Amino acid sequence: MTNQTFKKLDTAPVYRLVFDTIEQQIVKGELKPGVLLPTETHLAEQFGVNRSTVREGIRMLEESGLVQRKSGQRLQVTLPHINATAARTSRLLRLHEVTFRELWEASIAIEPVVARYAAERITAPELALLQQNVAEMEKAINDHVEVVRLDIVFHDLIAQAARNRALGLAREPISQLFMPAGKAILPRLKTQKRIIDAHHALLKALKERDADEAAAWMHRHIADFKRGFEQTGLDIDRPLESF
């Protein structure tokens, strides 16, 4: 008698096929952002399914940020916002119990490259926003939570100035996870002044369009973050959610 190695194949739910079909057309560019989808009734007719099945497929598309409802409840194709995409990825990293070491290794690989591109591409209004961010951090120097928040915003602004969507999508979920690590470090070591000094140096390099200096300072800044974390005595290989 032969052992049964494989299980019977299951057919994907029909609503999932509706989702997959529309998603593929959006990803391929056949349905572009701004295009209105047919009504649920027309979609049901085209797919040969009932409206409740179409409705469930649409719900998945809305959750994915690929469509949203406009006036009159018509569905419009949209691009998922980077923050929404990053939030989902951050949740996945938490579920996989990503450690500070893993997060830091990814950050020190990405952030200096981002700073280099930003030095080449940053605009005057973006420099003004960075200057304002540094000023706000100096005013909030005794508020640990606010300093961490402004630190993350500072790095996000540099990433926007780099004008590289692939790098932006790669770094954003990592950036969102630095909040618990920052909150663990600042109350213990009170390193706000070091952060502000590093941001001043980065801002100077960006203003001077010095890509090498911007990348070098960003590398120092991220390396310093790891040294600060290690000085707290916290386990660098513990999942971030445990801090």
**Model confidence over 78-102: pLDDT tens digits?**
877 665 555 565 566 666 688 889 8
- pLDDT tens, residue by residue, 115-165: 999 999 999 999 999 999 999 999 999 998 899 989 999 999 999 999 998
pLDDT in tens, 155-211: 999 999 999 989 988 888 787 777 777 777 888 888 899 999 999 999 999 999 999
Nearest residue to 137 (alpha-carbon basis) of 154, 124, 155, 161 = 154
